[in-house]
Amino acid sequence: MTTQDRIAKLRQNRVVALTAYDYPTARILDEAGIDLILVGDSLGMVFAGNPDTTSVTMDQMIYHTTVVRRGVRQALLVSDLPYHSYDSTREAVTNAQRLVNAGAEAVKLEGGLAVIEKVRAVLASGIQVAGHIGMLPQSLHREGSYKKKGKTDQEAAMLLEDARVLEEAGVFAIVLESIVPEVASEITRALNIPTIGIGAGSGCTGEIAVVHDLAGFYPWFKPPFAKPRACFADDLHRAALAYAAAVRAPGETTVP
Ligand code: KIV
């Protein structure tokens, strides 16, 4: 299957998307039939333990894209352009190409109208792009806190405008993060490309989650919309306790 086939397939059903940052996770998700795997810059938080995503570098994204690539056979592999890696159109194109060289089939960058020239330049270079609007983690310092978007008519209209210009530019999908559900549904109805929601209600064309939120593997920060379906943190804690008890047991020479 080509990248174009995988993108076309996203339009056929609800899009199931998850993040991955390492080989085993990527391979397990790919074998589970996940449609889109994102090497998200959320790795700065849930993999590296930083308070937000703004310190993630291109070198880190390249490394994680390379290892995730090894585990992905059927899913569309998308990588994030991290903060400050697309300050100019030239940087956007150069860095998007570096992610593609590392194995990404498409890149994602945050923003609508504000970044449209960069989006157009990356697309013109022949690289597929996913948009990302709503609450933008890379803008956290400017915004002060994580805020739901689309609460006022003006904000809703701006989001719709952002989505429209991104679609016109040629992005293949748009992530809608932390947007009032009615506004996310309205944006979805207005577009012909898939919307992939996270904290944006059930009216999007698909859904994306951070894999650590799904797996219950980052118990120290849980976004309000996270729905854990496993409890890896507790399982690993229990396994570590059992291992420690076995190693420390008096008279034990080998771990049972
Ligand atoms: O970095 C990331 O994981 C993301 C998702 C939250 C969409 O951008």
Instruction: Provide the whole-model pTM.
Output: 0.96
| Ligand 1 atom 6: residue of nearest CA | 210
Q: Which atom number of ligand 1 is nearest to the Cα of residue 175?
A: 7
Cβ(220)–Cβ(212) under 8 Å? no
Separation of first and last alpha carbons in the chain: 46
* Confidence (pLDDT) at 142: 85
Is pLDDT of 54 > 70?
Answer: yes
* Confidence (pLDDT) at 250: 82
pLDDT in tens, 57-109: 999 999 999 999 999 999 999 999 999 999 999 999 999 999 999 999 999 99
| Ligand 1 atom 1: residue of nearest CA | 40
* Confidence (pLDDT) at 64: 98
Is pLDDT of 118 > 80?
Answer: yes
Is pLDDT of 252 > 70?
Answer: no
Cβ(46)–Cβ(56) under 8 Å? no
| Residue (of 165, 208, 154, 169) closest to 190 by Cα position | 165
Is pLDDT of 227 > 70?
Answer: yes
Q: Tokens 């310190």 belong to which residue?
A: 55
How many angstroms is it from 238 CA to the middle of ligand 1?
29
| Residue (of 207, 218, 219, 171) closest to 191 by Cα position | 171
pLDDT in tens, 165-211: 999 999 999 999 999 999 999 999 999 999 999 999 999 999 999 99
How many angstroms is it from 90 CA to the middle of ligand 1?
24
Q: Where are the beta strands (DSSP E) in the chain?
A: 15-19, 36-39, 76-80, 106-108, 128-134, 173-177, 195-198, 206-209
| Ligand 1 atom 8: residue of nearest CA | 40
pLDDT in tens, 88-101: 999 999 999 999 99
User: Mean pLDDT score of the chain, rounded to an integer?
Assistant: 96
Judged by phi (left if over 0) then psi (alpha if -120 to 50, else beta), residue 147 lies in: beta
Cβ(213)–Cβ(225) under 8 Å? no
| Ligand 1 atom 2: residue of nearest CA | 40
Domains and CATH numbers, the chain: 3-231 (3.20.20.60)
Site to substitute for ligand 1 among 16, 60, 198, most atoms within 8 A of C-beta: 198
Distance of CA 249 to the CA centre of its chain: 44
Is pLDDT of 7 > 80?
Answer: yes
Cβ(218)–Cβ(43) under 8 Å? no
Is pLDDT of 150 > 90?
Answer: yes
* Confidence (pLDDT) at 140: 87
How many angstroms is it from 208 CA to the middle of ligand 1?
8
d(C-alpha 188, C-alpha 238), whole Å: 43
Give catalytic residues, as residue numbers: 177
Site to substitute for ligand 1 among 15, 19, 214, most atoms within 8 A of C-beta: 19
pLDDT in tens, 34-52: 999 999 999 999 999 999 9
Classify residue 113 by its DSSP letter: G
Lowest mean pLDDT among 148-162, 219-233, 241-255: 241-255
Q: How confident is the model at residue 253 (pLDDT cuts 50, 70, 90)?
A: low
How many angstroms is it from 24 CA to the middle of ligand 1?
19
Is pLDDT of 254 > 90?
Answer: no
Tell me the sheet residues that pair with 175: 132, 196
Which residues approach ligand 1 with their CB closer than 6 A? 19, 38, 40-42, 80, 175, 177, 198, 208, 210
